[in-house]
Structure 1
Amino acid sequence: MNITRFEGAPEYFPPNHFSMRCVRLQGHEAGPAESLWLGVSTIEQGGYTTSGASPVEKHYVVLEGEVTVITESGEAVLMAFDSCRIAPGERRALHNRSSNPAKILLAMPFLHPEHSG
Structure 2
Amino acid sequence: MNVTRFGDAPQYFPSEHFLMRCVRLQGHEAGPAQSLWLGVSTIEPGGHTSMSASPVEKHYVVLDGEVCVQTVEGEVALRRFDSCRLAPGARRALHNRGARPAMILLAMPLARPEAL
Task: Name the TM-score, length of structure 2 as normaliser.
Answer: 0.96
| Amino acid corresponding to residue 106 of structure 1 in structure 2 | L
User: What is the root-mean-square deviation of aligned Cα atoms in Å?
Assistant: 1.1
1:71 maps to: 71
Secondary structure of the structure 2 residue equivalent to 1:4: coil
Shift, 1:112, TM fit: 5.8
Are 2:58 and 1:58 equivalent residues in the alignment?
A: yes
Are 2:19 and 1:19 equivalent residues in the alignment?
A: yes
Check conservation: 2:56, 2:112, Cα contact below 8 A.
no
Aligned length: 113
Query: Can you give the 5+ residue segments of structure 1 that lack an aligned partner in the other structure?
Result: none
Partner Cα separation in structure 2 for residue 72 and residue 55 of structure 1: 16
1:28 maps to: 28
1:81 maps to: 81
Task: Name the TM-score, length of structure 1 as normaliser.
Answer: 0.95
Query: Can you give the 5+ residue segments of structure 2 that lack an aligned partner in the other structure?
Result: none
Secondary structure of the structure 2 residue equivalent to 1:41: strand
Partner Cα separation in structure 2 for residue 34 and residue 102 of structure 1: 29
* Percent of residue pairs identical: 73
| Amino acid corresponding to residue 47 of structure 2 in structure 1 | G
| Amino acid corresponding to residue 41 of structure 1 in structure 2 | S
Secondary structure of the structure 2 residue equivalent to 1:7: helix
1:102 maps to: 102
